[in-house]
A and B are shown apart, each in its own frame.
Chain A
Amino acid sequence: MIHALGAGLLFGVGLWLSGMANPQKVLDFLDITGNWDPSLLLVMGGAVAVTAAFFRPLIRLKRIDFREGIDAQLVVGAALFGIGWGIGGYCHGPAITALSNLSAEAFVFVAAMVAGGLVARIWPSPAQGR
């Protein structure tokens, strides 16, 4: 259980160091027609370089099953998520760690995010937790 706390801490430090915990920087990345900041490509590149090296053997070892295939749920869900991300500059991890700013926007965003997830539960064929 101490591992979950440690992994959360390390993940959070990565979010702050990389700049992802700053929604303005996220929006500067998404705003390709503005003063574009490509930093987030390196965040994703650095993270995926590590997971690409270790994930497949670990997943085999742990015998984890994943849903595969592309369906309407995936397309609609990802599209809506992107719109919310593009409006606020927050996705889950950055919003949660940004609660430490003690700013009203982070609390409102996280509360709304939880509510949105609960609404998805009563959606037809709800998505399973990942």
Chain B
Amino acid sequence: MANFTPVASLIGGVLIGLASVWLLAANGRIAGISGILHGLFAQPPGDRFWRLLFILGLVAAGFGWHAFVAPAAAREGFGLGWAAVAGLLVGFGTRVGGGCTSGHGVCGLGRFSLRSLVAVIIFMATGMAATYLVRHVL
């Protein structure tokens, strides 16, 4: 557990929670990022502007982090084929399952939803299984 970062991770988590409360209080929206992203492509186009701003904020945070805190670091040795497969599964799975780590995790658990708790347990379990297979078996 040499890589354990309890303080930064806890504070970062609190900021994520505060951002979710902010979006709900100010805009009446749930900060499920899969829903925010895929809503951009909804037909008919409706409330795209706030979604775009939220996503711009997310990306800008990354550029700001690299400018002021730590330089950008790309990981080595992760094939683009794997990135494509993983992205397809994440995009497809979250839309069928109605949420991701933020929607079911941060927001769903925060409202004590049994549906979200079940989703979190399932995606944690299959995530651990997939990581095990990719890192230790394949």
Q: Write the residues of chain A forming the contact surface with B, with a CB cutoff of 8 angstroms.
A: 1-25, 27-28, 30-40, 42-52, 54-56, 58-59, 62, 64, 66-70, 73-93, 95-105, 108-121, 123, 126-130
Q: Report B90-110 CB contacts with A as 1/0, cut-off 8 Å.
A: 111111111111111111011
Q: A8-B57, A13-B61 are in contact. Are A31 and B98 (CB under 8 A)?
A: no
CA distance A101 to B132 in the complex (A): 26
Q: Which of A22, A36, A46, A129 contacts B17 (CB 8 A)?
A: A46
In the complex, what residue of chain A is closest to B17 when comparing beta carbons?
A: A50
B132: min CB distance to chain A, Å: 6
Question: Interface majority SS on B: helix, strand, loop or mixed?
Answer: helix
Q: Report how many A-B pairs have Cβ atoms within 8 Å.
A: 484
Cβ-defined contact, B90 with A44, below 8 A: no
List residues of chain B with CB under 8 Å of any chain A CB. Answer: 1-6, 8-35, 37-39, 41-42, 49-51, 53-66, 69-70, 72-75, 78, 80, 82-107, 109-115, 118-120, 122-132, 134-136
Q: Assess whether B17 is in contact with A49, with CB atoms less than 8 Å apart.
A: yes
**11 pairs of residues in contact across A and B, judged by CB atoms under 8 Å:** A7-B57, A14-B15, A16-B69, A48-B13, A49-B17, A51-B109, A74-B115, A78-B118, A82-B126, A91-B34, A105-B74
Q: What CA separation (Å) do A86 and B132 show in the bound complex?
A: 8
- Knowing A7-B22, A12-B58, A82-B126 are in contact, say whether A51-B9 is a contact too (CB < 8 A): no
Other-chain contact of A78, B65, B78, B93 (Cβ < 8 Å): B93
Q: What DSSP secondary structure best describes chain A's contact surface?
A: helix
Give the residues in chain A near B94, CB-CB below 8 Å: 77, 81, 91-92, 117
Q: Which of B65, B97, B98, B102 has the most A CB atoms < 10 Å from its CB?
A: B97
Q: Are B3 and A14 in contact (CB under 8 A)?
A: no
The residue from A4, A15, A100, A105 contacting B53, defined by CB atoms under 8 A apart: A4
- Chain B: minimal CB distance from A36 (Å): 6
Nearest B residue to A80, CB-CB: B93
- A45–B10 contact, CB under 8 A? yes
